[in-house]
């Protein structure tokens, strides 16, 4: 065995998929036309798998703010927040996020992934416990690995299983961080947050909620599942990303605990990463305002989600458990059939995400769609027409 031999099985699996046709992982967007359209393989396609929930990537005010910041502050900071990369706009965005969530403290990170790495690797340490939902994102698992805490998984969205594990911890519950997500990215289902928050209160634990896919989507003002379920005061740490509803890149955490501000001096993903570019921060500041005031955008997003899901149900497809802007079409275990169906959709002008194990919650493959407020009714109808064509011809192939 050599250092690199471990990659041979992965390489063989990749080459086998490529041999079947268009490779789905790392599709090249040759030209982006709008929040909902692009050119792939030389033809125009509808983008139905981008997480661009509010469609803000082309908003003229966001673009104008980014251009102005680019002209005035340059392309990048060339340093971390702890060195020369702590610009006034970074601090302004932190204040605005804190005000948005009505929390006294906020830290902004370069990506949402780094936000989870920073929080989990720093909040919990040796002797502490992290109780996480089994379906949490890879960034959460990676942060747990860095933490040196004891990591215990509970069954996905199973309040009774969580309660059993908290009860077993006894006095250690006071040194326990419960980690869940608002909307889970694969199936589009949501944490039973009200019940989880009640358990957190009962056992004296701490609660961290990742609102990556629910920021801008849930709640009257778009503050996510914590707002929609009325548990904002029970959530000790709320984490999110700029790369979904805000249409940019970056991450954040807000909290009522003053220790979050002190975390800056201990979190390695914050200390040793170059800070976000001025253009990204400027665009996000505008996007946050649009998100907060985006009641109409959220209404349109949910209208599209209902329309699309109903259409897929009418086709007899097996879908994720609840209505959500994330719509999962559950397939079988055959990777070849899943890849074939995905390719047929793309060749007819509809791009969605193909997800295979181990990224899926079980052994099945799935097609992951995400709706946007920027989609038109005509685009939704066209997507449904393409799904009908493909699954009627190849769904049982």
CATH number at residue 70: 3.40.640.10
Catalytic: 185? Answer: yes
* Burial tier of 258 (Cβ tally within 10 Å: 0-12, 13-18, 19+): exposed
Whole domain around residue 13: which residue ranges? 5-54+295-394
Catalytic: 276? Answer: no
Q: Mean of the pLDDT values across residues 151-160? A: 98
Catalytic: 213? Answer: yes
Instruction: Give me the catalytic one of 185, 245, 324, 370.
Output: 185
Residue 327 corresponds to which tokens in the numbers above?
Answer: 């719509």
Model confidence pLDDT, tens digit, residues 12-55: 988 887 877 667 888 999 999 999 999 999 999 999 999 999 99
Model confidence pLDDT, tens digit, residues 46-85: 999 999 999 999 999 999 999 999 999 999 999 999 999 9
Q: Are residues 150 and 232 in the same domain?
A: yes
| pLDDT range class, residue 396, cuts 50, 70, 90 | low
pLDDT higher than 80, residue 142: yes
Longest dimension (CA), the chain: 61
Residue that is last in its domain, among 270, 292, 314: 292
Instruction: Give me the catalytic one of 59, 90, 213, 304.
Output: 213
Buried b or exposed e, range 160-181, using 16+ CB within 10 angstroms? ebbbebbeebeeebebbbbbbb
Instruction: Give me the catalytic one of 90, 137, 244, 343.
Output: 244
Q: Are residues 191 and 162 in the same domain?
A: yes
Q: How many Å apart are CA 20 and CA 291, to the nearest integer?
A: 41
DSSP state at residue 175: G
- Rounded to the nearest angstrom, the gap between the alpha carbon of residue 72 and the centroid of all alpha carbons in its chain is 31
pLDDT higher than 70, residue 397: no
Q: How many Å apart are CA 264 and CA 269, to the nearest integer?
A: 9
Residue 1 corresponds to which tokens in the numbers above?
Answer: 């065995």
Q: Are residues 213 and 69 in the same domain?
A: yes
Q: Are residues 287 and 300 in the same domain?
A: no
Q: Which of 212, 238, 210 is nearest to 101 (CA)?
A: 238
């Amino acid at each position: 065995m050599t250092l690199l031999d471990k990659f041979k099985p992965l390489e063989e699996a990749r080459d086998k998929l490529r041999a079947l046709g268009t490779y789905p992982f790392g599709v090249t967007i040759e030209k982006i036309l709008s929040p909902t359209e692009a050119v792939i393989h030389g033809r125009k396609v509808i983008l139905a798998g981008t997480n661009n929930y509010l469609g803000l990537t082309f908003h003229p005010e966001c673009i104008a703010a980014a251009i102005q910041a680019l002209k005035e502050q340059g392309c990048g900071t060339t340093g971390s927040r702890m060195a020369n990369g702590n610009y006034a706009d970074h601090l302004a965005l932190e204040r605005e996020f804190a005000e948005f969530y009505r929390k006294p403290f906020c830290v902004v990170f370069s990506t949402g992934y780094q936000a989870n790495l920073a929080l989990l690797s720093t909040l919990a340490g040796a002797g502490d416990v992290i109780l996480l939902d089994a379906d949490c994102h890879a960034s959460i698992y990676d942060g747990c690995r860095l933490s040196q805490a004891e990591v215990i998984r509970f069954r996905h969205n199973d309040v009774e299983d969580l309660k059993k594990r908290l009860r077993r911890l006894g006095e250690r519950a006071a040194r326990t961080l419960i980690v869940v997500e608002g909307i889970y990215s694969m199936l589009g289902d949501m944490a039973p947050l009200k019940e989880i928050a009640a358990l957190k209160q009962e056992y004296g634990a701490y609660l961290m909620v990742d609102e990556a896919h629910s920021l801008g989507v849930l709640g009257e003002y778009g503050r996510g599942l914590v707002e929609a379920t009325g548990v904002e005061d029970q959530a000790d740490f709320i984490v999110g990303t700029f790369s979904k509803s805000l249409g940019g890149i970056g991450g954040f955490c807000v909290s009522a605990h003053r220790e979050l501000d002190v975390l800056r001096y201990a979190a390695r993903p914050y200390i040793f990463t170059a800070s976000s570019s001025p253009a990204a921060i400027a665009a996000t500041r505008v996007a946050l305002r649009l998100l907060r005031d985006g009641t109409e955008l959220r209404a349109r997003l949910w209208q599209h989600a209902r329309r699309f899901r109903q259409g897929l149900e009418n086709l007899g497809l097996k879908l994720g458990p609840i209505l959500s802007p994330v719509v999962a079409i559950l397939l079988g275990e055959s990777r070849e059939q899943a890849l074939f169906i995905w390719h047929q959709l793309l060749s007819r002008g509809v791009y969605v995400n193909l997800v295979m194990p181990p990224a899926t919650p079980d052994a099945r493959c799935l097609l992951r769609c995400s709706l946007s407020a920027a989609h038109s009714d005509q685009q939704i109808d066209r997507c449904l027409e393409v799904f009908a064509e493909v699954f009627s011809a190849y769904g049982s192939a």
